[in-house]
Structure 1
Amino acid sequence: MSSPDEQVLRWAVRAAAPSARVVSATGMRAGGNPWLLRLAGAGSTCEVVLKTGDAAADLDRRQLLTTVAALELAVGHALPAPRLIAADLDGSAAGTVAVLMTVLAGSSKIPRVASAGRLRALGAAAGALASVALAPRPGLELRTRALYDMDFAAWRTSAGTSHLLARAEEQIASLPVPDGELVLVHGDLWQGNTIWIGDSCSGMIDWDAAGAGSPGIDLGTLRSDVALFFGSSPLASTGLPAADEVLTGWQQAAGRPAEHVAYWDAAAALCTVGDMDYCLPGDLLGEVGRPDLNAELLTARRDAFLAAALDDLDSW
């Protein structure tokens, strides 16, 4: 893909290091936006992350507005997230809407085997968000599920569904969204949006779906995600499935039991379509370090996770 244009690069340099120059601009998602910029000048180098959007696209502007609002809130609560350097939300200075952020140390690669400690640290990252009470506000609106801007029901209509997904859709639609406190939610908290140094989580990235919602949104997303990547078999070290290790970490960090776990598990699984190849295609699996997985296995794991959630919901 092409690199960012010169105007937005000049804007980024002025904001981050006025005496520096751009040495490289590396695409961080499928070779494109966002961009990792390496800046050099006065005998030193630094790296920053540049995320851009189309100034004429309402969704791009809303997502970057949300990113700015979330990062500003995160720094006020000492949450592990990039720090905001600068933002141009109308494109008047950068030539396009743009946000400039610090780089978190570590990697977002997903290991083939996860320790209980890593899984609990993943849950603890979401549990930390649950301590930030938040009323809906501009940029951080009310969220009732993950990835608020995607119509998964319509996607299933076009890409294909399954009997189990249809059953889940009907069952979730028949239930009220659980009441409870509103907190800061990330809104797209899967492992690819977390950064790691060993088994320590150094932060969460890609905040453009954040908002005010139930803490179950992020917890369910993470539980569904680890079920996909690691399966539902108990870990040899603890006897607990990966999703339950995430739950343990969340509860330890939040200091309270999680509520309505089965509802939010099912809601998370509904952020998919029948064939998981559409949701986690092979190129994305390779990008996050898991080329060993395939759509058939992921679909089977999703179905097992969702069936267990529906069985628990039947007992409500």
Structure 2
Amino acid sequence: MEVTGLREGRSPWLLRLSTGAELVLRIGGDRASLATEVAGLRLAGAHGLPVPQLVAADLDRLLVLTTAVPGTSRLSGPPSSARLRAIGAAAAAVHRVPAPPPSPELPVRTQPIGGVDFAALRRAAPVRPLLAEAEAALGRLPVPSSPPVFVHGDLWQGNLLWDGETLTGLVDWDCAGVGPAGVDLGALRCDAATSVGGSAPEEILAGYEQAAGGRFPEVAYWDVVAALATPPTIEWFLDAVRDQGRTDLDQPTMLARRDAFLEAALARL
């Protein structure tokens, strides 16, 4: 059996069996996030989304085993416009899944990567005036009223698999839950802004709106939410995107793009 770490050389692990079959083993983390992974996979798979099939789970031992989805998330450079639009359409497909009542396994989500306290990270770091301004702006505004949907909770390019320009899989459902669609759309737009720049966030939005059949409201609000759900100076986000093959990116570039994206969103609030 051949074993390969899929995230910076670590879990989840791709297991290539002598029979030629491939499985993915997720080890560790915490019981709650693995329970969410299992619940998210089951719901997404039951509604035809391209996700791994659950083979076995032992939440007490922090083990989840799934089938492997063909394709790769790795890129050596910026994605095409067609791919960006397909990413937006993929988010719309997730949001068409009927939202279940919130539960411990699929809780209410109000920001991307709900398990991380980004506000605490900002308090522990030197003050960045733009982030403080954004946090204050959100504090003055009501949360936009929108029907709850099934959300992935950590949508970025590293969690989508491709065969050429064809989307083959949506993976890593440990942040899934129920909440506003803007949680996912904002995350994708912020990821496109930091990793691509230019009009990439608008390509994401165009793909989403075309698939959803209408305009998405309150885009600026959810852009701000997503920008605040990033490390203050990008930190481990850079490590994650470089692990996905984007060695053309560096911290100053991603940070400047994040801040420009946030400034533009604040101007539209």
Common fold: TM-score over 0.5:
yes
Alpha-carbon distance between aligned partners in 2 of 1:112 and 1:49, rounded to the nearest angstrom: 26
Find the counterpart in structure 2 of residue 87 from structure 1.
57
Secondary structure, aligned partner of 1:244: helix
State the one-letter code of the partner of 1:206: D
Find the counterpart in structure 2 of residue 26 from structure 1.
4
RMSD, aligned CA: 1.4
Secondary structure, aligned partner of 1:45: coil
Gaps of 5+ in 2: none
State the one-letter code of the partner of 1:38: R
1:110 lines up with 2:75 in the alignment:
yes
Alpha-carbon distance between aligned partners in 2 of 1:181 and 1:217, rounded to the nearest angstrom: 12
Q: Which has the larger radius of gyration?
A: 1
Find the counterpart in structure 2 of residue 6 from structure 1.
none
Secondary structure, aligned partner of 1:49: strand
1:273 lines up with 2:243 in the alignment:
no
State the one-letter code of the partner of 2:228: L
Find the counterpart in structure 2 of residue 131 from structure 1.
96
CA 1:197–1:160 in 2, change beyond 3 Å: closer, same or farther? farther
**Given the alignment, which residue of 44, 55, 61 partners 1:74?**
44
1:218 lines up with 2:218 in the alignment:
no
Q: CA deviation at 1:163?
A: 0.9
Secondary structure, aligned partner of 1:100: strand
Secondary structure, aligned partner of 2:72: coil
Find the counterpart in structure 1 of residue 259 from structure 2.
303
Find the counterpart in structure 2 of residue 174 from structure 1.
140
Alpha-carbon distance between aligned partners in 1 of 2:16 and 2:210, rounded to the nearest angstrom: 38
1:159–1:273 Cα contact (<8 Å) kept: no
Query: In the TM superposition, what whole-angstrom CA distance separates every residue of 1:96-119 from its partner, at most 9, and x where no partner exists?
Result: 221111111111113423221111
Query: In the TM superposition, what whole-angstrom CA distance separates every residue of 1:226-270 from its partner, at most 9, and x where no partner exists?
Result: 1111112xxxxxxxx111110011111122221211100000000
Query: In the TM superposition, what whole-angstrom CA distance separates every residue of 1:271-308 from its partner, at most 9, and x where no partner exists?
Result: 123322x1323x43431111111111111101110011
1:201 lines up with 2:167 in the alignment:
yes
Q: CA deviation at 1:137?
A: 2.3
Alpha-carbon distance between aligned partners in 2 of 1:146 and 1:131, rounded to the nearest angstrom: 18
**Given the alignment, which residue of 140, 164, 167 partners 2:106?**
140
State the one-letter code of the partner of 2:194: L
> Normalising by the residue count of structure 1, what TM-score does the alignment of the two structures yield?
0.82
Q: What are the residue-to-residue correspondences of 1:207-246 with 2, within 5 Å? A: 207-232=173-198, 241-246=199-204
Count residues with an aligned counterpart.
Answer: 268
1:38–1:45 Cα contact (<8 Å) kept: yes
Secondary structure, aligned partner of 1:144: coil
**Given the alignment, which residue of 23, 30, 37 partners 1:48?**
23
> Normalising by the residue count of structure 2, what TM-score does the alignment of the two structures yield?
0.95
2:230–2:237 Cα contact (<8 Å) kept: no
Higher relative contact order (CA closer than 8 Å, sequence separation 6+)? 2
Alpha-carbon distance between aligned partners in 1 of 2:209 and 2:63, rounded to the nearest angstrom: 36
Query: In the TM superposition, what whole-angstrom CA distance separates every residue of 1:46-68 from its partner, at most 9, and x where no partner exists?
Result: 110001226xxxxx100110011
1:161–1:273 Cα contact (<8 Å) kept: no
Alpha-carbon distance between aligned partners in 2 of 1:267 and 1:248, rounded to the nearest angstrom: 20
Q: CA deviation at 1:199?
A: 1.4
Find the counterpart in structure 2 of residue 8 from structure 1.
none
CA 1:222–1:161 in 2, change beyond 3 Å: closer, same or farther? farther
2:76–2:247 Cα contact (<8 Å) kept: no
Secondary structure, aligned partner of 1:273: coil
Alpha-carbon distance between aligned partners in 2 of 1:175 and 1:145, rounded to the nearest angstrom: 15
User: Identity over aligned residues, as a percent?
Assistant: 49
Alpha-carbon distance between aligned partners in 2 of 1:286 and 1:301, rounded to the nearest angstrom: 16
Secondary structure, aligned partner of 1:165: helix
Secondary structure, aligned partner of 2:74: coil
Alpha-carbon distance between aligned partners in 2 of 1:301 and 1:53, rounded to the nearest angstrom: 33
Q: What are the residue-to-residue correspondences of 1:1-40 with 2, within 5 Å? A: 23-40=1-18
CA 1:50–1:305 in 2, change beyond 3 Å: closer, same or farther? same
